[in-house]
Structure 1
Amino acid sequence: MVTGVSREITGELVPEAEADPDLVRAHVAVGAVVDPELPMLTLADLGVLRGVEIEPTGRVVVTLTPTYTGCPALATMRADVRLALAAAGFEEAEVRTALSPAWSTDWISEQGRQALREHGIAPPAHVGSDAHDTSGSTSVDLVLMPRPPAPACPRCGATASREVSRFGASACTSLHVCTVCGEPFDGVKPL
């Protein structure tokens, strides 16, 4: 039996879980862990934090969905989550990986999108998945279509940029140059 659980997909606490101070403390500790590749984002803002539970034995179970299956930062995320929980007084912790539904850039919070802009990284365009659909549906309509529009420059805001390289500073970013101000910038790839 679980003493508390956070909402799947959003990682936010469900109202009844807010009454459990240990669950709130665990959720706050895990939610503050930063992404190793995009350290201006917490795991909660990145949208990879899927759930936090406390089992009757006191063990905390955290569920993460990596940005993609081969994400090289996942091992570091797991270690950082365990360290954060230990610092918050939780001796036993398990970090699970959930690959379904697959992570989407739509799961990045508005606060996370703003943090990306403030650090010179263009946030991804919304791709249309329902990030808050907790019905269990994992279907996504796939259609052949042109590439998404170029990301807006995080420095001048112009929507005219060109992709220079499909690969940026991390595996989940691509390199762009603004055709208005001439500045290069990373953009998070929409998924």
Structure 2
Amino acid sequence: MSGTVPGHAAIAAPSPWVGRWLSLVRPGGRVLDVACGGGRHAVLAAQHGYAVLAVDRDAEALQALASRAGGVQVLQADLEQGVWPLPPGARFDAVIVTNYLHRPLWPHLVAALGEGGVLIYETFAAGNETVGRPANPDFLLQPGELADVARAGGLRTVAYEDGFISSPKPAFVQRLCAIREGAGAVAVRYPLDAS
């Protein structure tokens, strides 16, 4: 069973969380969109001038994405079966994950961040079973879990939220924006407003 939300490809609008923090990514950088579904965030990143690699197991969705989005490369891979599909040492300036949870991938996601790389993550959390799907606890983050992932991976948390949203549909979510700092990382000023 997949950790992807049923019908996720049908949600066309990019997440405001992803849109807000995408500005932290190095101009012209490489972005990895994990479990991209219909590619809403891959398209958004490509429109902002990033080179994007979109990964998903749905060949049909990837084919549609590749045909409509310049600047987006696609890779079909079942992230829950087998090995990590990217070569060792592949680094990105951002890794984006939304509406997807497969905990064994966390070390790979963190390792895929280059210096100054930004992890932008948003998915469902405990409590969501009271308002809809997913309801399986295997696909719901526990309190503070994303913040713990960032801390364990040596990332600096820029923003973290854990709570209830009413739009685009009622849901309990956790959201994280974290950066891999290092000697080559560029100092940035973080937007503190929600715009």
Fold shared per TM-score above 0.5: no
Could you say which structure has the higher strand fraction?
2
TM-score class, shorter? under 0.3
Task: Give the structure-1-normalised TM-score.
Answer: 0.27
Task: Give the structure-2-normalised TM-score.
Answer: 0.27
- Larger gyration radius, structure 1 or structure 2: 1
